[in-house]
Amino acid sequence: MSRYALSLTRNEAEAQDLTQDTFLLAFEHWAQFRAGTECRAWLFTICRNRFHRGRVRQERQVATDDADLESLAAAAIHASARGAGIEDLFERDEVIGAVEDAVAGLPEPFRDAVLLVDLNDHSYEEASAVLGVPVGTVRSRLFRGRRLLQEHLIAHARDAGLIPPPHDAMAPNGGTKP
Amino acid sequence: MMPMLDCDAVMRQLWDYLDGGLTPERTAAVRAHLEMCDRCYPQAEFEKTFLRALAASRREPTDPAGLALRVRRALAARGFAPDRG
């Protein structure tokens, strides 16, 4: 729970407050807990809702819920990376160091799915219970979130000069040297 | 009998495969395809390194025991008395 709170707030003191608030709210509203449901998911839902309370909610950007399309888009990203000779991109320290900011910059629905599944080891089913959406929606949001992250990290690496811009990547030897 | 999968079918199921979300039969079929496909195998490795980078960004709370104590005290102040069976 505290790790999830930390992944939401990215600040240890705020995460501690959020964790404490979560348990206090659960205690105060224990009567609302439905016996037979997953208590852990209930706590994560409270934590998430408490975190988002009072924050400006981002507009839901869920244009398509087609996870298959996202999987194929991921294949296109890999083909592009392979063509540019940067298949090892996600093993580079500079890129790994940019992941946390990239996750924080994801639109909320996709960030929620990535935080629960990829950073807090929830199954699709557990994330579905926390977020109150069908498993298929978790899956498509997760895949979209991952694709957005990959695109962001590739752009970050390009901006940082870690990889050549697309047209240079296509030129043999990176172009003519002076 | 294990189904034969083409590249397109494997691409569509790759995230599910890496997340351990496929049935045992389907997992075996995807694995068998990856082992012999020089197009899909590199992509699977690429996605694995991405997921590792993502997991590496995870931060752990520095004082979970202290936080647990703080939460227990806050709950006790609100009247929570856990069973001590």
Q: What residue type is B38 in one-letter code?
A: D
Shortest Cα distance, chain B CAs vs residue A156, angstroms: 15
So what's the pLDDT on residue B7?
Answer: 92
So what's the pLDDT on residue B60?
Answer: 86
Please tell me which residue of chain B has the smallest CA distance to A121: B55
Residues in chain B with CB shorter than 8 Å from the CB of A101 are none
Q: What residue type is B63 in one-letter code?
A: D
Shortest Cα distance, chain A CAs vs residue B65, angstroms: 11
Chain A residues whose C-beta is within 8 A of a chain B C-beta are: 2-3, 6-7, 10, 12, 15-16, 19-20, 23-24, 27-28, 67-68, 70-72, 74-75, 78-79, 81-82, 87-88, 90-91, 95-96, 99-100, 103, 114, 117-119, 124, 139, 142-143, 146, 149-150
Of A150, A153, A70, A140, the residue nearest A110 (C-alpha): A140
Mean pLDDT of B10-38: 94
d(CA A5, CA A72): 32
B69 shares contact with chain A (CB less than 8 Å): no
Shortest Cα distance, chain A CAs vs residue B6, angstroms: 14
- Using the structure block, give the residue that is written with the tokens 């998911």: A41
Contact A100 B59 (CB under 8 A): yes
Residue B26 structure tokens: 């389907």
Task: Count Cβ atoms within 10 A of the Cβ of residue A72 and give its class: 0-12 exposed, 13-18 middle, 19 or more buried.
Answer: middle
So what's the pLDDT on residue A13?
Answer: 85
The pTM is what?
A: 0.80
Higher per-residue pLDDT: A116 or B63? A116
So what's the pLDDT on residue A176?
Answer: 43
So what's the pLDDT on residue A57?
Answer: 55
So what's the pLDDT on residue A170?
Answer: 46
CB A164 within 8 A of CB A80: no
d(CA B68, CA A19): 9
Question: CB contacts < 8 Å between A and B, how many?
Answer: 106
Return per-residue pLDDT of chain A as tens, 178 residues: 889 999 888 888 888 889 998 999 888 888 888 877 788 888 999 998 888 885 655 545 554 557 777 777 888 888 888 777 778 888 888 888 899 999 999 999 999 999 999 999 999 999 999 999 999 999 999 999 999 999 999 888 888 887 776 655 444 444 444 4
State chain B's mean pLDDT as an integer: 88
d(CA A98, CA A161): 14
d(CA A108, CA A115): 10
Please tell me which residue of chain A has the smallest CA distance to B79: A27
CB contacts under 8 A, B 18-57 vs A, are 19, 21, 42-43, 45-47, 49-57
CB A7 within 8 A of CB A115: yes
| Angstrom distances, CA of residue A104 to CA of A7, A29, A60, A112 | 9, 30, 16, 10
Report the residue from A23, A91, A100 with minimal CB separation from B75.
Answer: A23
Mean pLDDT of B59-70: 87
- Using the structure block, give the residue that is written with the tokens 């979560």: A22
Residues in chain A with CB shorter than 8 Å from the CB of B19 are 117, 124
